[in-house]
Structure 1
Amino acid sequence: MWRRLHVRAALVAAPLLLGLGAVMYFLLQHYSAQAALEAGQRMNLGLARYIVEHQPPGLINSAGRPDKGLVKELAVQVMAINPSVELYLLDTNGRVLAHALEGLRGPDPVGVQVDMAPMRRLLSAENDAGVLLPVLGTDPRSPARANIFSVWAIAPPGGGMGYLYVVLNGSAAQGVAAGLGNSGALRAMAIGAALSTLLAAAVLWLAWRHLTRPLRQLTDELKSFRDDGDAGAQSESGDEIGVLRNAVQTLRQRIAQQFQRLEDSDRQRRELVSNISHDLRTPLSSIQGYVETVLLRGEAIDAPTRAAHLRTALRHVDLLGKRIADLFELSKLDAGRIEPRQEMFCLAELLQDVVQNYRLAAERRGVSLSLAAGSHMKAKVLADIAMIERVLQNLVDNALRYTASGGTVVLAIENHGAFMQISVSDTGRGIETNHLPHIFERYWRASDAEEAGASTSSGLGLAIVKRILDLHGSVVRVHSELKRGTRFEFLLPQAA
């Protein structure tokens, strides 16, 4: 399930949504604080002016010195109404002259330099709606921290000028704001943001699941189609796109293999027609020649010569019949019209029968044919006895054909645990290494094959051997050395 595309997309999107939710939460918190500052400054923008206009003159005298008594009395009145504000008197350069802070802790703000630029911007804000609030100025109690304020110029009697500087978000208000940092409203907002993020992830998961449904269906169909043709197909890893890519690649390979097989089949069909024409024409021509000789010369041929001609024609008829039978058998094997019929039989007895059947032919060739010592075991195998007999006949016939007089052909059985190994060895001329990959092909003969042996071979014997053993799930192996002989061997399962 975790490899599904919609699940992985949701898992990837969930952290992004959580991060986006966190960013939105902090941005909301920040701009909410900014909006609160703007609202507080806008509501109290004219506070300093109102105080200056409704107070008797004398807060700053003509010498530029503050009347601390009036300042204290004024601060008591204003701060009694709004405890969050702090009042300061500034000189014309923005330096703090006096204040009325009760219970002051930390350094005295008298003498602190207030930045004049924000003051000028705020003074122009009453006449210029284009000035954006909040305008943050110096907080005399904490010069490193900016704060909202209200300011108005004071014109003392006798000339000169100073400023009434009112910090709107004083220490008391900041303490209350800090206490609200862990308020229920903020916790509710954080929980709401988290729930919204999870809801968005769930909606995204459902949307991806709906959108990728056709892709999943197509992937399952391709996998099913591929697995039907590949019994050894393994389970796929990755999401739908990865599985789909692998399935398409596998199908492309299968299609390429099918095209290659079609080309090979067409080539083999053409070669088969050509080879059949050649193999059937040669004995037919010989038969026709000898029969015509006998008919044309008639009584002019003596009885022994006539009998020799007829025996030769008969031998070619037998060869022709054998080649046609081999072709018919191989065509049935290739077409799948013959299936092995599994039965239990004694392998040693079958090999002994084959040796007996070929003993006379071996003696005529001057070849010793025998069953190896130790091969008379009673072990039984499970296979189609008629097909395995055909395999042994073809191998023995092939060994006798290419083994010179005085040579030996030996059949042997060896126990290989759950299998029995059957081998046919000869001391014939052997096969060159570069010819070994081709010996099981139809009609293949080495260019330097002995003419006597090649002339009596249909070229299909080993192809039939390989096809029969393929049907049994076995593999025929060959070992050969020039002028030292050849050994064919294969395995059959022992019967339980």
Structure 2
Amino acid sequence: MRPLSLGTRLSLLFAACSAAVSLLAGLFFNQASEAHFVELDRQRLAGELAVLRGLLDGVADQADLPGRLPAVREELARHPELSLHIIGGDGHLWFDSLPDSDPAALRTLEARNADGTRLVVRLNIAHHRHFLEDMQRMIWFGVGLSALATALLGAWAVRRSLRPLRRMGEVAGGISASSLTTRLEQDRQPAELAELAQAFNAMLARLEDAFARLSAFSADIAHELRTPLSNLLTQTQVTLSRPRALEEYREALHSNLEELQRLAQMVADMLLLAKADHGLLLPNREPLTLGTEIDTLLDYFAPLAEDAGIHLERRGDAQLMADRGMLLRALSNLLDNALRFTPAGGEIRLELTGTPSRLRLEVGNSGPAILPEQLPKLFDRFYRVDPARREGDGEHAGLGLALARSIVRAHGGEIRCESSEGWTRFILEFT
């Protein structure tokens, strides 16, 4: 069964609250009216009883009663709703002015004389009961009418109040890849919806950014794959354009193999990034002595650094539970990046500092500083600080830093870049 709409729920709630308040007010008024009538009747009975006791003063025997009855009947005639009941001291009924009255419609007040005679004055309250019954019917009618009116007014007010929410639904329904720039006007939203509008706009901003990144990523993939594929096609077409010696075919195949290896590496890197994006990059942790691992890595890069006249240095040591292969891959990417951007005669320094709760690894290289506006983009896929290096650079596709960040985050760490005063530092922190 489909649940009731929010507007229907609020309308029914308003109607129920209005009916409950009206009913309580009506019952309170009914009780107050009845108590007021009871008090008036008692006062009237008391006054009339005093008058009748005066008229019957001195009657000690039933034989004395006939002489007083004319005055009693005259008094009762002035008040037709009143009746008198006289019971003697012996318990016998001496007089009853209205013997056929309904006891349920009477309110009585009794007085006893010194000789034991009892006077019972009775007041007919049928007109009071009719009034109270009519008032109860009016109360129920008012309760129903107020509930209906409140439900209708509540439905109108709720529908009007929920108009901004419907507007949000319309905006959300119209969102597409071509309209991610749409935003809700936060300043015109009610206070209760302002926070929701802000969160909605923030969500659209994130979607717009993610879509822009995805579009750029798709364009970059096409761009990066186009160059090696074009090289493969061109070289293969040239090789097959005429008969060649066996050695020429062998050289062409070796050249194609290099391009295919770069393509395979690029595809593997993108698959690794895709796994990281979906939380599927799970490191196989083991205790590592980072000083030893970094020294091994520096020995591998030493020939390249020596050819470029770059000095490599490690400072400090620390222990870390990490996946050896993944961590060395991230550090290799950082060292390769540092070697490419360190001028001849420069220096690359790796510094390790650790506490029981935090480990810091810094990979720094001397050289020109990176512009501040470029720092946030360094870890984007296919991004290069020097745009001129994009064309024809098949060896470095611009995925190294993105891979390094994914690996560091998979280990629960963070990586950032600082560049100033002739040094560029990539800082890795693990907790």
Normalised to the residue count of structure 2, the TM-score between the two structures is: 0.52
Aligned to 1:382: 321
Aligned-partner Cα distance in 2 for 1:363–1:293: 38
| Counterparts in 2 of 1:389 and 1:451: CA distance versus 1, 3 Å | same
Aligned-partner Cα distance in 2 for 1:254–1:459: 34
- Count how many residue pairs are aligned between Structure 1 and Structure 2: 286
Aligned-partner Cα distance in 2 for 1:473–1:298: 57
Aligned to 1:488: 426
Larger radius of gyration: 1
Cα deviation, 1:395-454, whole Å, max 9, x if unaligned, reads 111111222222211111012332221111011333211122222222223465656996
| Counterparts in 2 of 1:130 and 1:460: CA distance versus 1, 3 Å | farther
1:353 aligns with 2:359: no
Cα deviation, 1:247-271, whole Å, max 9, x if unaligned, reads x999999998887766665554443
Matches within 5 A, 1:235-384: 267-290=212-235, 292=237, 316-372=259-315, 375=316, 377=317, 379-384=318-323
Aligned to 1:391: 330
| Counterparts in 2 of 1:277 and 1:29: CA distance versus 1, 3 Å | closer
Please state how far the C-alpha of 1:356 moved relative to its aligned partner.
1.3
1:406 aligns with 2:345: yes
| Counterparts in 2 of 1:416 and 1:452: CA distance versus 1, 3 Å | farther
Structure 2 letter corresponding to 1:439:
L
Please state how far the C-alpha of 1:312 moved relative to its aligned partner.
6.8
Aligned-partner Cα distance in 2 for 1:321–1:473: 28
Aligned to 2:188: none
**SS of the residue 1:418 aligns to:** coil
Aligned-partner Cα distance in 1 for 2:45–2:307: 123
Q: For structure 2, which runs of at least 5 residues remain unmatched after alignment?
A: 1-25, 61-73, 83-192
Cα deviation, 1:171-219, whole Å, max 9, x if unaligned, reads xxxxxxxxxxxxxxxxxxxxxxxxxxxxxxxxxxxxxxxxxxxxxxxxx
1:42 aligns with 2:30: no
| Counterparts in 2 of 1:249 and 1:336: CA distance versus 1, 3 Å | farther
Structure 1 letter corresponding to 2:345:
G
Aligned-partner Cα distance in 2 for 1:411–1:351: 8
Aligned-partner Cα distance in 2 for 1:461–1:442: 8
Aligned-partner Cα distance in 2 for 1:441–1:361: 26
| Counterparts in 2 of 1:124 and 1:392: CA distance versus 1, 3 Å | farther
| Counterparts in 2 of 1:337 and 1:403: CA distance versus 1, 3 Å | same
Aligned-partner Cα distance in 1 for 2:273–2:360: 24
Matches within 5 A, 1:83-102: none
Work out whether residues 340 and 387 of structure 1, in 8 Å CA contact, stay in contact via their aligned partners in 2: yes
Aligned-partner Cα distance in 1 for 2:257–2:307: 19
Identity of aligned residues (%): 27
Work out whether residues 341 and 367 of structure 2, in 8 Å CA contact, stay in contact via their aligned partners in 1: yes
**SS of the residue 1:44 aligns to:** helix
Work out whether residues 382 and 492 of structure 1, in 8 Å CA contact, stay in contact via their aligned partners in 2: no
1:423 aligns with 2:368: no
**SS of the residue 1:476 aligns to:** strand
Please state how far the C-alpha of 1:479 moved relative to its aligned partner.
0.8
**More deviation in 461-470 or 449-458?**
449-458
Please state how far the C-alpha of 1:43 moved relative to its aligned partner.
2.6
**SS of the residue 1:440 aligns to:** coil
